[in-house]
Structure 1
C-alpha cells in the first residue's frame, strides 16, 4: 500500500477539490445509511410490542459532552415516536417511519452517487497525466536508452501496462475513498451500541484478514511476470510485421509461428493463475464474513439471553444490520487491495521509463548558440556504447562552408561520429566544440536547430506530404514547401498523387518507393535551411536518374554551408574539401580524393573495391 500512497501523492494533488467532495459525500452517505437502518429499531418495537419503557423530552445544548448529546438525541427520538403512537396510533407512526426510511435512503443514494461522480475527473485526469508523462519522458530520454530496450516492450508499457493501471489502480480510487469512511463510521456506531460485541469482533477480523492476505500475496509478482510476457508478445508481433518479407523469403513461417505460440501459451498460463487467484478474493471474503456473522450472532445472543449486556433484542438486530453493512465495504476494500497489487506490477514497469535517469544533462545556464559562424571541432574524442571503444582519438576540424566526407567499411564508426554532433549520445572523453563553445554547455534545442539531417533510412510519418516536409518548421508556406520539393526532385511525383501535397503517405511512407521516401526526407532538410548539414548516405536509396538529380540539388544546398557527409559512392565524396578514412574507430587517413589515391592506402583499396 505504500506504493499506492505514493501514486496518490504523485498524481492526486491537482484534483484535491474532487477528493474533498468525494470524501465529504461518502461521509454523508454513511450517516444517512445509519439513519435509514436506525428506523429498524422502532419498527420492530412497534410490530412486536416489546418496548415497555416510558420516555420524556430531555433538554440539551451544544455545550454538553458528545455522549450527553447522543444520549439526549436518542432519548428524544424514542420520546417523539412513543408520543406519536399515543396521539396518532401505531399504524400512522409506521407510515411516518416508512417515509423517514424513504427520505434517508434517497439522501444516502444521492450522496453515494455524488461521491462516485467526484471520482470520475480524478480517474480520467490521472490516467491522462500518466500517459502524458510517459510520452514526454520517452521524448526526453536519449537514444541510447532505447537501443537497450525492445520496441514492443516499450509499446506494451504505454498501452498494456497503462491500461492495467487504469483497470486496477485508478478504478480502485472510488473504493479507496469510500470504503474506509464507511467502515470507520460503522465501527464507531458499533462501539456506541455495544463495546463488548465490537471488541469481540475486532479479535475475529484480523484472523479473517490474514487468510484473505494469503491469497493476494503472490498476485503482484505474477502480474509483473504477465506484463513482461505481454511485452515479449508485442515485440514478437512488431518484429514479425517488420520482417514479413524475410520470413516469407526464407520459408520461416513455421519457426516464427512456433516461437509466438510458445510466448502466447506462457502468457495464457500466467494469466490463468493471476485471474484464478484474483477471483478467489470475493468468495473467500464473503465466506469469512458469514463465518464472523454466525459467531457474532451466537455470542450476541448469549449476552442477551444471559442478561450480561444492556443491549436489547431490537438494538442487537440493528447492530447485526450495521455490522453486515461492513462486509460489502470490506469485500470491496479487499478487492481494491487485490486490484492495486495487480496494478502495482504494471506501475513498476511504467516507472522504469518514468524514473529512468536521463544521462543527457543540459547546462543549468546554457550558453547562447543561435548561429554558426566559424568551425566545428572534435578534440580527442573517445566514445563507447558499452565496453568496446567505437571511436578513439578523433581530432577533426570542419571549417564553416566546408564539406567533410567520412568513408570506411561498415562498423568503422562513421554514423557514431555524426550522431555525437547533435548529442544523440555524449562523448566519454574529449570535447566537441562549435564556435569554441562545448556542445554540452548549450541547450539541446539551440544545438539541434543549427542542423539538418538526412539519414540512410528515410524516416517519415503517417501524415500528408506537406506535414512531413514541414516537420519541425513552424509557419512554412506552401510556396516554400513546393520550392523545397522542387530542389529535392520530389514535386512532380507529389503532384501526380490524388490530393497533391495533402495526400497521406501511409505508415512510414509505405505508399512511396524507396527513392520517393528519400526525396521527401531531403525536401524536409532543404526547407529547414540549416547552416550545418549531416548527410548519412542520403542518396543510397535512389535510382541512377534520381540520384543524379538529387545529387545536383544536394550540391546546390551544400554551397556556403558546412556539411558532414557519410557516403559509400565515389561520386558523392569526390568534391569534398576533406575526406576522413575511418577504420575500427580511428581516422587512419585524411585529405582530398587525388591525394588519398596517391597514398595507395586504405582509401585506394576502398575505391578499388567500391566498398565505401
Structure 2
C-alpha cells in the first residue's frame, strides 16, 4: 500500500484530475444503478402486476422534494402512474424503455469522460516518474555505476516504469471506481432487503480470502521475474558492446548458452505468473456465482413461502442487482492480481529515486570564482568503502603548469584526478582552488572550469557537429570548425559523407580510435576550460594517430593548467612536475630528467617501456 500511495504522489497536482473524475464516476454509477431499478416497474407492467388500484395510489399524492432515495422512487412512480392512465400499458412500457436507453447512454458517457481523465493521469504519472528516476541517475556519484549492472538500471528506467503504467496506473479506474460502485450497490441492496444482504455478506469474504492468497504468491514471482529480466538486458548490452571480442574468441555458443539459460528462467517465471493471474478472474467468477446461487436458494425459498418483504419482481431485480456486484468485484480481483507485478516494479524504480547522491552541493554553496592562481591537494586521502585508495597526498599546481601522474595500474592516478571535478569527494583532507575548498562551492561552477579527455572517447550517437558542440548550444559553425582545426580533426571531418553533419553511430562506432579522440579534444577546446584533465588520452592509439592526437593535446594544453595521466613518454616528459604514485601514495616527484637520475620507480617504468 505504501508503494501504491508513493506512486500516486507523481500525480500531483491532484486538482487537475480528482474533482472531475469523482463527479463523472459518481454520475456514471448513479445512472448505471438507475437502469436496474427500472426493472421493477418494467417487470410489473409485463406481468400485469400493476392494477387500477396500484395506479391510483401512485398518482394520489405528488411527492415533496427530499434528498433521499424514497423521494426519487416516489417521484418516478408518480409520473409512471400518470403515463399508464394517459397512454396505457404499452405507452408505459415505451416510456420505461426510453428512460433505460437514456440512462445507459448517460452512464456510458460519464464513464468515457472518467476514462479520459484517467488517461491523462496515467500519462502524467508515468512522465513524472520517468523524469524523476532519470534525474536521480544523473545526480548519482560515479561509484554507484561501478557497483550496479547497467542492464538492471536500464530495466528499471524502461521495463519497470512501463509495468507501473500498465499494472498500477491503468488500474486506478478500477481501484477508485469499483469500490464506489460496490458501496452504491450495497446501499441499494440494503434498502431493498437487509436480511438477504446480510446473508450475502457472510459468503463474500470467503472468495476474497482465496483471491488474496493467489495475489500474494503472484508478488513473489513478479520480483523474481524483474530480476531475471534485468540479467537478460545486461547480457544483451554486453553482447552488443563486445561483439568483436565474442566473434574473435568464437564465443557465440558460450554467450548464446548464457542467454538461453536466463531466457528460459524468465519464461518459466512468466508462465507461472500468467497461470496465477489468469486463475484469479475465473475463480472469482465461480465463487461469485456460487454466492448468487446460495442467495437465490435462500431468498427464493423465502419468497415462495411468502416469508420475504420482497415481491417476485423485486426479488428478481434484487438478484440481478446482486449479480452486478460481481462485475466490479471481479474487476477488482483481476486488478489486484495485476497490481502486484506493478508494485514490484514500482519498488525497484523507487529504490533508484530514493538513493541519495553522495556528492551534493551544500545548502549555502556559492559559485566558484574564476581560476586565478593554483590547485592544491592538502592532506588528501580517499577510500572506496573501507578500502584505502589514496593516502596523505600533498602537492600544488600553479596556474599554467602541467602535472603528470604516473605509476602502476591501480595506484590511484585516475581517482586522484577525479577529485578535482568532484566526481568523488576526499574522505580526508581537501582539494582547493585558489585556496578555496571546492566542497564549499557548487559542483556546476567547479566543473564549468574543467575539461576532461579520457582514454575511452565518450561520444554520442549524433552528428560530428553536435558532439563537438555538446552542451554548448550557442556554438556557431565557425567556432566548431576552429576547435576541430586546433584538434587536428577538420581534415578527416570534411572527407566524411556529410562533413560536420555526419552521424557517427553508437559511441562513435563509424570512426577510428584516433578520430574519436580528436573529436573529444575538439569538444574540450570549444568549452575553453582553464583546467584540463587528460586521462591516458593516447594510450589506446597507434603511432600515427598518437602523433596527431598528441599535437592536438599540445594545442589544447597551451596556456592551461593540466593534470595528465599517462604511461607514454611523449605525453609526460615535458611536464613541469611528475608525481609517481604507488599504492595510493606519492613515492617520487620531480621533472622527467630528475626522476631518471634518481633511478627509482619512474626510471624503472621508463626502462620497461623502452625495452618494449
Over 3 Å counting, the alpha-carbon distance change for 1:556 and 1:13 in structure 2 is closer
Q: State the partner residue of 1:50.
A: 49
Tell whether the 8 Å contact from 1:370 to 1:450 is kept in structure 2 after alignment.
Answer: no
**Counterparts of 2:72 and 2:14, CA distance in 1:** 38
**Counterparts of 2:599 and 2:267, CA distance in 1:** 63
In the TM superposition, residue 389 of structure 1 has moved relative to its aligned partner by 1.0
Which aligned pairs between 1:187-586 and structure 2 lie closer than 5 A? 187-586=186-585
**Counterparts of 2:72 and 2:249, CA distance in 1:** 86
Q: Deviations over 1:342-365 (max 9, x none)?
A: 110111111121111111121111
After TM superposition, the structure 1 stretch with the greater mean CA deviation from structure 2, 276-285 or 364-373, is 364-373
**Counterparts of 2:450 and 2:177, CA distance in 1:** 55
Tell whether the 8 Å contact from 2:411 to 2:581 is kept in structure 1 after alignment.
Answer: yes
**Counterparts of 2:86 and 2:356, CA distance in 1:** 78
Over 3 Å counting, the alpha-carbon distance change for 1:243 and 1:204 in structure 2 is same
Q: State the partner residue of 2:3.
A: 3
Structure 1: which 5+ runs fail to align?
A: none
Q: State the partner residue of 1:162.
A: 161
**Counterparts of 2:188 and 2:412, CA distance in 1:** 75
Tell whether the 8 Å contact from 2:518 to 2:552 is kept in structure 1 after alignment.
Answer: no
SS in 1 for 2:500: helix
**Counterparts of 2:71 and 2:128, CA distance in 1:** 51
TM-score (norm 1): 0.96
**Counterparts of 2:535 and 2:133, CA distance in 1:** 30
In the TM superposition, residue 573 of structure 1 has moved relative to its aligned partner by 0.9
SS in 2 for 1:218: helix
**Counterparts of 1:36 and 1:95, CA distance in 2:** 14
Structure 2: which 5+ runs fail to align?
A: none
SS in 2 for 1:51: coil
Q: 1:119 aligned to 2:118?
A: yes
**Counterparts of 1:368 and 1:85, CA distance in 2:** 85
**Coordinate RMSD, CA, aligned:** 1.6
Tell whether the 8 Å contact from 1:518 to 1:542 is kept in structure 2 after alignment.
Answer: no
Tell whether the 8 Å contact from 1:12 to 1:122 is kept in structure 2 after alignment.
Answer: yes
Q: Deviations over 1:436-493 (max 9, x none)?
A: 1111110010010010000001000000011000112241111111111011100010
SS in 2 for 1:58: coil
Tell whether the 8 Å contact from 1:56 to 1:76 is kept in structure 2 after alignment.
Answer: no
In the TM superposition, residue 34 of structure 1 has moved relative to its aligned partner by 1.7
SS in 2 for 1:406: strand
Q: Deviations over 1:320-353 (max 9, x none)?
A: 1211111111111111111111110111111121
SS in 1 for 2:13: helix
SS in 2 for 1:553: helix
Over 3 Å counting, the alpha-carbon distance change for 1:586 and 1:43 in structure 2 is same
In the TM superposition, residue 73 of structure 1 has moved relative to its aligned partner by 3.6
In the TM superposition, residue 19 of structure 1 has moved relative to its aligned partner by 2.4
SS in 2 for 1:610: helix
Tell whether the 8 Å contact from 2:483 to 2:526 is kept in structure 1 after alignment.
Answer: yes
Tell whether the 8 Å contact from 1:58 to 1:76 is kept in structure 2 after alignment.
Answer: no
In the TM superposition, residue 421 of structure 1 has moved relative to its aligned partner by 1.0
Tell whether the 8 Å contact from 1:26 to 1:178 is kept in structure 2 after alignment.
Answer: yes
Tell whether the 8 Å contact from 2:59 to 2:81 is kept in structure 1 after alignment.
Answer: no
After TM superposition, the structure 1 stretch with the greater mean CA deviation from structure 2, 78-87 or 504-513, is 78-87
In the TM superposition, residue 72 of structure 1 has moved relative to its aligned partner by 4.1
Q: State the partner residue of 2:85.
A: 86
**Counterparts of 1:100 and 1:59, CA distance in 2:** 20
Over 3 Å counting, the alpha-carbon distance change for 1:80 and 1:473 in structure 2 is closer
Tell whether the 8 Å contact from 2:218 to 2:337 is kept in structure 1 after alignment.
Answer: yes
**Counterparts of 1:475 and 1:148, CA distance in 2:** 36
Q: Deviations over 1:31-89 (max 9, x none)?
A: 11122212211111111122354334435445x5x5xx533442343243233223321
Over 3 Å counting, the alpha-carbon distance change for 1:14 and 1:73 in structure 2 is closer
In the TM superposition, residue 307 of structure 1 has moved relative to its aligned partner by 2.9
Over 3 Å counting, the alpha-carbon distance change for 1:531 and 1:313 in structure 2 is same
After TM superposition, the structure 1 stretch with the greater mean CA deviation from structure 2, 427-436 or 449-458, is 427-436
Q: State the partner residue of 2:608.
A: 609
Tell whether the 8 Å contact from 1:59 to 1:72 is kept in structure 2 after alignment.
Answer: no
Tell whether the 8 Å contact from 2:63 to 2:75 is kept in structure 1 after alignment.
Answer: no
**Counterparts of 2:319 and 2:392, CA distance in 1:** 82
Aligned length: 607
SS in 1 for 2:411: coil
TM-score (norm 2): 0.96
Which aligned pairs between 1:31-42 and structure 2 lie closer than 5 A? 31-42=30-41
After TM superposition, the structure 1 stretch with the greater mean CA deviation from structure 2, 169-178 or 273-282, is 169-178
